[in-house]
Amino acid sequence: MVSLARRIMEIEPVLLGRSSRPECRVHTHFFFCPGCNYVHCFSAKLQGYDRNAEKPTLQKEVYIPGQIALHTCRSKITGGMIRYTNDSTHHLKGETVELPIIQYGHI
């Protein structure tokens, strides 16, 4: 059995159709954010995800406004690392850390 260290995972299509928030219905993938200690979902197409689950790169920043989450979180994912901008409001603002590997049963 091939074991792949995935830092980004695909959302099950059945879950997408059930989302009550229209903006979430375009989301196709998620990662676990160590700054928010929570998952962030995104559209692979809109964010320019390179489909490398082990060392992912997203061409565009991921921005989670504080109004819809506990923290404002702005990040850029490059080569499996996540860099947070200084306008993020959590403890990892301004820092770059490894994006956590997602295990089945992790969330």
Instruction: Give me the residues that bind Zn ion (CB under 5 A), please.
Output: 33, 35-36, 73
- 28/30 with CB nearer Zn ion: 30
- 35/56 with CB nearer Zn ion: 35
Q: What is the nearest approach in angstroms of Zn ion to the Cβ of residue 42?
A: 11
Cα–Cα distance between 101 and 8 in angstroms, integer?
A: 8
- 14/68 with CB nearer Zn ion: 68
Q: What is the nearest approach in angstroms of Zn ion to the Cβ of residue 21?
A: 17
DSSP of 31-91:
EEETTTTEEEEE-HHHHTB-S-SSS--BSS-EEE-TTTSSS-EEEEEETTEEEE-TT--ST
Q: What is the nearest approach in angstroms of Zn ion to the Cβ of residue 35?
A: 4
